[in-house]
């Protein structure tokens, strides 16, 4: 668990830097929320389907996603499972049972409930875990999901990352009640609030929630209290709306620091091991992104496929139009980096 927390932290720093150099178009870090992600992920199995928002790369990493796949997605190269169609950090993995992320906030919540209902029908010994931020709970879809999950008795774990901010909006402007956890009982949902910077607390809360919801066929809501140490995204400078002092206070007690101290107190970890881990992780990430950067983009025709299962006539016609156009005007398009035929 600790290694994954460090890995996601190191990857974030490097990817953030790559964005600064203009080598990828966008990025969102997970800094400060490593414990929420890894702690909960460790309590779930691969049978459990994940519906995530966008700040849950650690969950995917813990499930076994290779670093190269993260890089491929961010670069949108020919090895990206998503075929380069979405913005960076919109990961997904069929084999790791992690639904592809989409930008519209909270839409995944009622979807997760539907999937959980399917699990109940199929009598699966698994649950659906659905991640979202505290800002997302203000959307109507959150209300829909909580109510459907309760009335239709669905085995879903709602995992709210309450990190204090939705971009620039502090939680006090987001809601007036007692956080997200207070909403659960109003829907008839068993609810717990957890120190989201304590990886072991996250682990045990999620483990119990999972067991409860599979056995009882009922939803559980977990509100993980944490703090978004990084900027919202690479398009955001968070010091405009919050103090550097506030950030550094949280940074000093980050989930990484806390778990490291615990491991050291047990004699399981030391400074030397820490340095070795960071060095080897950096090396691995640099290699992975170097490779990802060199790969060509998918063939431009992938722009037209997968809109439907089969390409309908009108879309095929448009694809042929584009092909003809490119024959005549090829020098005006970046065709050379899109030559891969896959």
For residue 150, give the nearest of 194, 195, 184, 106 by alpha carbon: 184
By beta-carbon proximity to other proteins, the closer residue of 143 and 258 is 143
Residues binding other proteins: number (CB under 8 A):
50
111 makes contact with other proteins (CB under 8 A)? yes
Q: What residues from 130 to 169 belong to the interface with other proteins (CB under 8 A)? A: 140-141, 143-145, 147-148, 151-152
By beta-carbon proximity to other proteins, the closer residue of 111 and 281 is 111
Residues 57, 30: Cα–Cα separation, whole Å: 7
**Closest distance to other proteins from the beta carbon of 51 (Å):** 8
Residues 282, 95: Cα–Cα separation, whole Å: 26
What DSSP letter does each residue of 149-168 carry, written as one string?
HHHTT--EEEEEEE-SEETT
281 makes contact with other proteins (CB under 8 A)? no
179 makes contact with other proteins (CB under 8 A)? no
x-marked contacts with other proteins along 75-94 as a string, rule CB under 8 A: -----xxxx-xx---x-xxx
312 makes contact with other proteins (CB under 8 A)? yes
306 makes contact with other proteins (CB under 8 A)? yes
100 makes contact with other proteins (CB under 8 A)? yes
For residue 170, give the nearest of 242, 236, 225, 226 by alpha carbon: 242
For residue 221, give the nearest of 188, 251, 250, 253 by alpha carbon: 188
By beta-carbon proximity to other proteins, the closer residue of 53 and 93 is 93
> Which residue in the block uniquely carries the two structure tokens 């056995």?
215
By beta-carbon proximity to other proteins, the closer residue of 102 and 208 is 102
**Closest distance to other proteins from the beta carbon of 297 (Å):** 13
* The binder of other proteins chosen from 6, 41, 109, 205 (CB under 8 A): 109
Q: Which residues contact 105 (CB under 8 A, 6 or more apart)?
A: 53, 132, 135, 136, 139
54 makes contact with other proteins (CB under 8 A)? no
234 makes contact with other proteins (CB under 8 A)? no
Residues 87, 74: Cα–Cα separation, whole Å: 7
Helices (H), the chain: 2-20, 34-42, 57-62, 67-75, 108-121, 140-151, 171-174, 183-187, 199-216, 244-252, 255-265, 271-294, 313-329
56 makes contact with other proteins (CB under 8 A)? no
Burial of 291 (0-12, 13-18, 19+ CB in 10 A): middle
- The window from 18-26, 40-48, 102-110, 323-331 that contacts other proteins (CB under 8 A) reads 102-110
**Closest distance to other proteins from the beta carbon of 210 (Å):** 17
Q: Report the interface residues with other proteins, using CB under 8 A.
A: 49, 51, 80-83, 85-86, 90, 92-94, 99-100, 102, 104, 107, 109-119, 121-122, 128, 140-141, 143-145, 147-148, 151-152, 305-310, 312-315
């Amino acid at each position: 668990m600790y290694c994954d927390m460090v890995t996601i932290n190191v990857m974030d720093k490097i990817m953030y830097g790559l964005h600064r150099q203009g080598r990828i178009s966008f990025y969102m870090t997970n800094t400060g929320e490593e414990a929420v992600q890894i702690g909960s992920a460790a309590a779930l199995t691969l049978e459990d389907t994940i519906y995530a928002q966008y700040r849950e790369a650690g969950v995917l990493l813990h499930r076994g996603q290779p670093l190269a796949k993260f890089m491929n997605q961010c670069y949108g190269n020919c090895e990206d499972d998503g075929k380069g169609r979405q913005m960076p950090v919109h990961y997904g993995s069929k084999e790791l049972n992690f639904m592809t992320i989409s930008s519209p906030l909270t839409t995944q919540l009622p979807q997760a409930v539907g999937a959980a209902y399917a699990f109940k029908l199929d009598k699966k010994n698994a649950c659906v875990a659905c991640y979202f931020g505290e800002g997302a709970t203000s959307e109507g879809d959150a209300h829909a999901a909580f109510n459907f999950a309760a009335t239709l008795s669905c085995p879903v774990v709602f995992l709210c990352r309450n990190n204090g901010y939705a971009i620039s909006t502090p939680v006090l402007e987001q809601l007036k009640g007692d956080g997200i956890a207070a909403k659960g009982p109003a829907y008839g949902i068993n609810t717990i609030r957890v120190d989201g910077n304590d990886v072991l607390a996250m682990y045990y809360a999620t483990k119990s929630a999972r067991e409860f919801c599979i056995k009882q066929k009922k939803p559980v809501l977990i509100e993980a209290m944490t703090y978004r140490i990084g900027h919202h995204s690479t398009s955001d400078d968070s010091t405009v709306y919050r103090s550097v002092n506030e950030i550094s206070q949280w940074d000093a007690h980050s989930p990484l620091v806390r778990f490291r101290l615990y491991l050291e107190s047990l004699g399981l970890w030391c400074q030397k091991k820490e340095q070795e881990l960071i060095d080897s992780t950096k090396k691995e990430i640099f290699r992975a992104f170097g490779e990802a950067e060199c790969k060509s983009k998918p063939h431009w025709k992938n722009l037209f496929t997968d809109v439907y299962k089969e390409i309908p006539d009108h879309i095929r016609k448009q694809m042929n139009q584009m092909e003809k156009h490119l024959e005549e005007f090829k020098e005006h398009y970046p065709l050379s980096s899109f030559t891969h035929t896959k």
